[in-house]
Each structure stands twice: as structure tokens, then as C-alpha cells.
Chains A and B, each alone.
Chain A
């Protein structure tokens, strides 16, 4: 099995099991914290007397409320409100050095193995809540004991592991009671806005799909553990995605989207700005239809700031997630690279959960405490081109025995090391015009008739495993050829290929402006909000192939008329 990592448009709301009418009554965070703590201690006291006692138990409750509205070509397709609570329990038996969560070699992946989860009543009813906590704790404990036996056998019959790190890091407990975040969503107003934006897409009859979607979610999280951690916190996220597809005459499908995210709907751009962006997206799509197909190309290219951010998130970020270094099925690209130069020396990369803004723009990948109750810390992953270390959850790897507060996951999933706010920093920079001149200069040096400029890129699938080539696939959406005379010419059908390390090492210059991409990222622990910020980057070597063309022809009939008896 391969791991699919994806910086995506799919909302994390998809995973929530229920949807409800009214917003939950204002819950008293302390009441549920007390109940969780009491039930945890009560169960632990009994389980401690068993032959294989737990050395760690944690309870997490996540209460998620979400509003969603989607409209296609001016007509609402869905308009819902969801509310669900998920309870997850983690029971560890064995000890910090070897426990039931240890990877069993020679077997397929077991997603979320260390967490047992269930729906919890959305009402604060002690009896009903206690039953779920008690029942699921029992189940999790039995699973843990059974798995530990398998772990021990597996270790006895297989060759020694390359990385003999502990299974669980020791961290000091956190006690933190934050404020619940309450978002007021003017549903009617947002519904009208979403309708109006998607209605603009009717103006181009050659668009096959055209939709706008808004998600507003607020989450409350309770976390208690046998180590003494007791945390309540609230977060929120508003996301707007506007997407459209068209087809070139030869059948090539051309997608394009706009995506915005903020902690609150008020933080999304104002109506006029979105309208302007929609118009720009429509102009892009129309131009793309008529643009020539790209030829296979290997040579210099500029990635716009957003494109570079996504690029770094996909090809670099996922490979510095700590737990992957331990998994012997993983590529472990950077495992033996600590202290070595992996990027040009003018580049640095940090992940910082404490950031709220980058270059004056909001970033949404931040938090105070991660989903294992560890304080989110700034991690200098690359300093001056040299690799310093990994993003860490509480799963240690060789040389990195502690978490740096990047254990993240969606409700009901076992947290693993995930990205937060990624920032690419350039020690030397130049205005964009100079960067473009530098691209042309580089083309001349390499004897290329033109260079490429990737204005838009979408996250694709990244494979970090060993079973298939350690390749990445980010999808360029808006691409230009920059001719030697400076002329810009849009092309379509570009497919980026290549291997990550090579692509990364060919960065030769950066611009002095930083762009931000906010999105949600999906991996084995589910969807989490992230951001990626970067200046425009000039790479001396990037490889492009022509996208496989869809054989589907254009629609046979023109779109239908707008009104009965009307003309198309």
C-alpha cells in the first residue's frame, strides 16, 4: 500500500459522522474535562491491576460544528449544518521504549491502529457519555494487549531494526483551558454570495462545471491523559473554494480553482476581490483553451510564491514528517541527511505553529497545543541550506527523542507528525522583474529557447514509500513560456515529473515577495489545516512531460437555454 498525501480542496468536514440542526448549547469545558479525567482514572485504576497494565491512557473528545453551502452555476446544490462529537481513546501497554503501537514489519499498514474511536452524545449527559468512555476504553485496552503480543513476536522473528528509538516520547504534561471559539455565520448572506459567485461562471458557456463552496467549521477539543495533561481548546476555519473546468477543442480537460481560508468567515476576502478573482480565473480558462500544448521540456523555470509553497509542502514537507523516518517501508529521503546541505545555502525552511500571519497575510496552519497535548514549537528544518531535523510527534526517531508539537490528526484518528505553517525563507532576493531576467539569462546559458513560469500549481499525490518510485506529482494549472525576448505565452497540458531531491537542489534565486497558500492536507491521520508560504523561486532544472490527453470529446450539444423556450 502506498501513502497518498495530498494538499487538497476536499474539506475535512467530510469525515464528520453527523449533521445537526441547532448549534450546540454553550458547553462548559470544565465539566467535560472533569468527567473525562474521572472516568480515565477510574478505568486506569482497574486496568493497572491486570497482568499487562497500561502505562499510558489518553481521552480526546472533539466537538465539530460545520456549515456548508455549495452552489453550481448560480443554483444551490446543498446547504447544511453538521454537528458531531467524536471520542478517541489511546491505550498504550508495554513501556515508553516498546509498546503496542510499534510497527509490525512484513505486514500492510494499519491505519489509525493506536486509536479506538466512537460517536459520543452531543448532549452533556453523564450516564450516556460514561458508557461510551467505559466501553471504548475496554475495547482499546484489549486491542492494545493483543497487539503488544504480536509486536513482541514480530521483533523476535525479524532482523534487528535500523532505528531502535523508543515508541513514545516523554513529555511534560500541559494544563490549559482555552476559550471556546464561537462563530456567527450569517447563513443567508453567505448563501447569496456563494450563489452570486458561481452564477458569474454562467457567462462562459464553455465551462463544463462551475461551483462555489463555503465551509465554516468550529471545533472544541478536550484532551486528558494519565500523565496529567488536561487541555481544552477551540479552533475555527472558514474555507471558500471556487472551481471550474472547461475543455480545449482537442478534448483536454482544463481545471482551475480559487481557494481561500481564514479562521473566520470575516477573514475571507471581500466580495469585490472574489469577483475580481473569478473574472481572472475565467479569463485564464478561456486563454487556456486556446493556448498551445506544451512540448516535453527540461530546463529553468520560475515557480510563483504560491506554487512554490505547494511544491515545498508536497515534495519536501511530507518527507520531513518524523515518523516516516522510522517506518522501514518509507523512502526515508532525509534520514541520514542531518547536518548536510540539501538546499542552496541561501534557503531556509521553518515550520511554525505559533505564526498567525506571514507577509501580512493570515496563515491557518497554527495552534497552541498539538493533538497529543504538546505545545507547538517552531522547527528550523533547513537553515542555510543544511538539514537540521524533522517535524516530530511523540513518536521518536533516531537522534530525535522528543516531540516538537507537530503530532496532528483529525477527529478519531491517531495523530502523527504533520506540517503546520511552512515558510520558505530566502537569504538573498530580488524583485520579480529581476528574477524573470535571471530566468532568461539562465535559458541562454543552457541554450534553451524559452523558460517556464508556473503561476498556479495544485497539490497532487506524493508517494514517499519505497514500493514505487519516490516521485511527486503536483499539478501545474497556469503555465507560461517566457521567451528570450521576455514575451509571455500561456501553454497547457504541463505535467511535472522528476525526483524531489534533484528538483529542490536546483533553486538558484528567489524574489523579494512572499505568497501564502492556505489549505487542508490529507494523510494517514486525516485532514488538518496547513499553510505554505514562499517567495517566487527560480529553479535551473525542472522536467515537464505532456499531460495524457483525455479522449473524451466536447459535449455534443451546446448548453441548454436559460429559460423555457429561450435560446442557448
Chain B
């Protein structure tokens, strides 16, 4: 019994740690080494940069309606890719419109098979290298007779990193989640006025592998659990109304108790049921308060996108056809009121006791995630960057995320001085309403993307009335310059963005915008169901 480990030693190990088979890493490294040493076509240079990526993924997806299971899918897969750059960091085969075509996602073996993994990387690298050589010569030809106006390099520098975080052991047995989906979806049995409803669970456990020719070797576990609840109905005039909510956490242990989840479903059902019979909002232009969840959705859809700068590829035929982001040329200019500051911080793990979904040590290009002050005193300081250099932004600040390594937010903190209490914020709204001579102001409590799902008019006497059919019109970054006031309390909104396991957080106060336009939803709407439904207890 010499091999048996003493009990106390086992107890010291973190409960989530799982053994990780070294086969994948060895195979990737060995094939990378061979690639760097030997891969070249006579008369062309070999690659100056190669990155091998592999996502070792197990996931399950469950959905149910009215207490009955609709689907329960489990999958294990290992998609992988090879990034090959030829030329020099100043001028290589990327950032070019005529670049190589889209490469379909390939998957390698789900077994610990050294040869099979190498074989797949070998074959994909061969294709990627040939395509890179071809693209580079096309790009050289396109730029032969003209000077690149910007002269931006194609690939920014980064220090190599080596890190292996322990694997996380997640129970992917669908039984528990099937039962949860059934129970949450059964809440809607008490709302026969709905036409469609569902509750679903998506759980993904993944190990992200990144091995590069610069010596980077990263193995990072990623996991996400999303509980999605949605329902749809029609108002008496036929207007289709839908609402959805998602609880996003990184591990099952972080889930709120089931009673809280059931309450989420119940809240959604009550909201939707009340919206169904609410009056329709007329066209409106004026002040509006976006309460935290709604504010976070607007920040996510408008600001977060603007902060994630994206360099449009060049065509060699002058201007790129793809537009640059709205903040691309605004660094140094005011984009928010003077009282605002905005920070994106992947290194933040929690905020006021809430675990944040956008935390990571290294981004998907292997660059350490750095805290970035985006806005100070209302002035735009910089943008989120990846290793693709931008004008005035030559270096990555560790925000290259997802499979494409495009810049994206991690944990975005919107902060403003002089926040008001809820009552004062409402009073401030009503002041503005009075100033503008409007009959009422608007409070948006909840949004799903840029669709308001819970909207109230607030009358000068303080009375609130739920309305339906309000559509946001022309909501863009300009509106953020004219925020009149904020709440002192902030809220953390957790979302899943981009790839399956890419989380992000937005922490924001409520926002009172000076000018928001809501357009009444126009018909004709679909007729109501003709036959009544058969109620089943």
C-alpha cells in the first residue's frame, strides 16, 4: 500500500482540480517545433509567427417547456486552429481585404492520441501556410504602386508567457439540469395567456490551449453556466411581446439558490403578463432613466462596442470599405459628461461581493489582461486593443478575446461622481419633464439587447404606469454625452458574449439621458390565435 496517498494530503487539494493529460500540450509543442524548423516552400520564407490553439470542450444544453423536456444534448469536441503569419510584423499576410478565405472550424480527436493531434495540426498548418504565402504576395502586389497612408504595422509585440492553470472538474451529468429546466419552465403553466415559453441550461467546461512560436504556452480553464428563461405572448391588438432573462455564472456553485431562479422566472412571467394589458406608448422624445439592468444593456450594445476598436482591413485600393468604430478618431475628445470615468479591468475578480464574468489573466492572444482607464473626466483616453496595432495604439492592452482575438470588453466599470438616490433621480427626471413641458417622463427598467421589455411612464405627480410597444430609436454613442444624472447605487450585469465561454460584466449606475427617442411599434400585428387553447391542469 505504498502508493496510497495519506488522506490529509488529498484533502489539501482544491476540490475543483482535475488531472490534465499532457498529451495535447506535447503534441502541439512538438508539431510547432517541427513547423518552425522545417516548414517553408523554396523561394519563400517560412512563417515568422505561428500560433496553435485548441479548445478542449465538454458541454451540455438542456431545454424544457411547461415542465417537459424538449432537448438534452451533450457534446465533447476539440476544435482547433493554426494561425500562420509570413512576412514581417511590419507587413504580413493579415489586415488585408483580399486575404485568405474563411477556414471552417475543424475538430481533432477527443482522445489522448498524440499522433492524431499532431496529424491534424500538421495538415491545417500546411494549408494555412500556403494560404498565407499566397495572400502575402497578393498584398505585396496591391501595395506595390502606392504608399500605405497609415503605415501601421500588422502585428504588435508581446512578451511570451507560460502558465498552466489547473483543470476544473465539472459534473456534466445532465440529470440535475434537466430537472432544473423542467421545474423552472413549469412556472409558466400558471400563465395560459403565453403562447410560448422555455427554460434552458447551457453548461460548458473548456480548457483553452495556446502555444506560439514566440514561446508562449498557456493552458487556461474556462467555464460558463447560463440559465436562460424566455416567454412570448400577444396583446389584444396582436402586438407580439417577448421577454427573456439570463443568469450567467462561471460555475454551478456560484448559482443563486433555486428559489431565486424560480423567482426570476416568476418575475418575468408577471412582467410579461402585465405588459400584455398595458397601454401603448406614443412616440416620445425626451428625458429617460435607464435603471441599472437597462443601463447595462445600453452600455453593452453602444459603449462597449465603441471601446472595442477594430482596425478595418486594407484593400490596397485606397480606403477600406469597412467603417472604423465611432471612437476610432475621438481619443482626447469628450464622449461622456465630465463627471464620468470608465475602466475596463480583466484583473478584477469580484465587485461588491458579486463574482465578475469578464475576469482573466491572459487574453486569447496570450497577453496579460490589463486594467485600462478608457474615460477620465468624460474624456476618451484610449481604446481596448489586441495585438493588431491601431492608429496611436501600437500595443495590446490584453483585450484580444475570442477565437478571432478581436478587442472586446472584460469587466467594464462605469462610474460617475455625484450619484443620486433613487428618489432624487426620479425627481431629477420630473424636473426635466417639467422644463420640457412634457406630460410624462420615461423609466426603462429592463431591456433585452436594445429592445426595452419593461418600460414605465412617470407622471409629474410621481405616479408610474407600465407601457408597451416602445422601441428605442437612434440610440448611439452621442446620447452618452448628454447624460444628466446617475444613481449612486451601481449594479453588475453579467453576460455571455461572442464565443461559447466568453463572459463579460458591466457595472453601471442608472443613467438619466437628456434625450431619448422612443418610437411606437407599428402594426399591422398578427391576428390572435383563432382556436382557444386547451387548458391542461
Contacts and interface: CB of A to CB of B under 8 A. Distances in A.
Interface of A: 17-21, 39, 42-43, 46-47, 50, 71-80, 82-84, 119-123, 125-132, 134-135, 137-138, 141-142, 202, 208-209, 552-553, 555-557, 559-564
B69 A122 contact: yes
Contact of B110 (A78, A131, A559, A561): A78
A412 to B, nearest CB: 14
Contacts of B69: 121-123
A76 B110 contact: yes
Contacts of A47: 530-531
Contacts of A46: 530-532
A492 B189 CA distance: 64
Of A17, A21, A39, A563, which is in contact with the most chain B CB atoms at under 10 Å from its CB? Answer: A21
- 7 closest A-B pairs by CB: A75-B116, A18-B71, A75-B109, A127-B536, A125-B68, A128-B68, A121-B68
12 contacts: A73-B115, A74-B113, A74-B115, A78-B110, A80-B75, A84-B71, A130-B536, A131-B65, A138-B530, A142-B526, A556-B126, A560-B34
Of A77, A79, A559, which is in contact with the most chain B CB atoms at under 10 Å from its CB? Answer: A77
A88 B110 CA distance: 36
Contact of A562 (B31, B40, B115): B115
A74 B114 CA distance: 11
Interface of B: 26, 30-31, 34-35, 38-41, 64-77, 107-111, 113-120, 122-123, 126, 129-130, 174, 189, 195-196, 526-527, 529-537
Contacts of B189: 127
Contacts of B196: 131, 135
A122 B62 CA distance: 12
Nearest to A21: B174
Nearest to B46: A556
B32 to A, nearest CB: 11
Given A19-B75, A77-B108, A559-B119, 9 more contacts: A46-B531, A75-B111, A75-B113, A76-B111, A83-B72, A121-B66, A126-B536, A131-B195, A559-B122
A128 B65 contact: yes
Nearest to B37: A557
B77 A78 contact: yes
A71 B35 CA distance: 25
Nearest to B189: A127
B118 to A, nearest CB: 4
A224 to B, nearest CB: 16
Contacts of B72: 18-21, 83, 122
Given A18-B71, A21-B72, A76-B109, A121 B65 contact: yes
Contacts of A18: 70-73
A142 B530 CA distance: 9
Contacts, number: 158
A556 B71 contact: no
**Chain A interface mostly:** mixed
Contact of A557 (B39, B70, B76): B39
Contact of A20 (B73, B108, B114, B529): B73
Given A18-B72, A127-B66, A559-B122, A134 B531 contact: yes
Contact of A563 (B31, B77, B114, B527): B114
Contacts of B536: 126-127, 130
Nearest to B118: A560
Given A74-B113, A80-B75, A557 B107 contact: no
A47 B530 CA distance: 7
A77 B71 contact: no
B31 to A, nearest CB: 6
A122 B122 contact: no
Contact of A131 (B30, B66, B74, B77): B66
A42 to B, nearest CB: 6
A552 B108 CA distance: 23
Contacts of B119: 73, 559-560
Contact of B109 (A72, A121, A131): A72
Nearest to A132: B65
A18 B110 CA distance: 21
Contacts of A142: 526-527
Contacts of B66: 121, 125, 127-128, 131
A76 B67 CA distance: 36
Nearest to A124: B68
Nearest to B73: A19
Given A18-B73, A80-B75, A129 B68 contact: yes
Nearest to A208: B123
B70 A121 contact: yes
B71 A17 contact: yes
A21 B75 CA distance: 10
A43 B130 CA distance: 61
Nearest to B120: A72
Given A42-B534, A73-B116, A560-B119, A122 B34 contact: no
Contacts of B109: 71-72, 75-77
Given A77-B107, A134-B534, A137-B531, A72 B116 contact: yes
A77 B80 CA distance: 12
A103 B88 CA distance: 58
A135 B234 CA distance: 12
Contacts of A137: 531
Nearest to A121: B68
Given A128-B66, A138-B531, A563-B115, A79 B76 contact: yes
Contacts of A121: 64-66, 68-70
A78 B122 CA distance: 20
Given A19-B73, A73-B115, A557 B122 contact: yes
Given A19-B75, A78-B110, A121-B70, A556 B40 contact: yes
B533 A134 contact: yes
Contact of A560 (B75, B111, B122): B122
A243 B177 CA distance: 38
Nearest to A43: B531
B529 A135 contact: yes
A215 to B, nearest CB: 16
A78 B195 CA distance: 37
A157 B250 CA distance: 60
Contacts of B118: 560-561
Contacts of A125: 66-68
Contacts of B39: 556-557
A84 B73 CA distance: 10
Contacts of B123: 208-209, 555
Contacts of A141: 530
A198 to B, nearest CB: 10
A84 B69 CA distance: 10
Of B41, B68, B77, B532, which is in contact with the most chain A CB atoms at under 10 Å from its CB? Answer: B68
A329 B74 CA distance: 43
A50 B529 CA distance: 12
A17 B61 CA distance: 12
Of B67, B69, B116, B537, which is in contact with the most chain A CB atoms at under 10 Å from its CB? Answer: B116
Contacts of B40: 556
Contact of B67 (A73, A74, A127): A127
Nearest to B77: A78
Contacts of B71: 17-20, 83-84, 119, 122
Given A80-B75, A84-B71, A552-B130, A560 B531 contact: no
Nearest to B69: A123
Contacts of A82: 73
A80 B111 CA distance: 14
A79 B67 CA distance: 29
B129 A556 contact: yes
A21 B70 CA distance: 12
B41 A564 contact: no
B113 A130 contact: no
Contacts of B74: 19-21, 80
A130 B534 contact: yes
Contacts of B75: 19, 78, 80
Nearest to B197: A131
B116 A557 contact: no
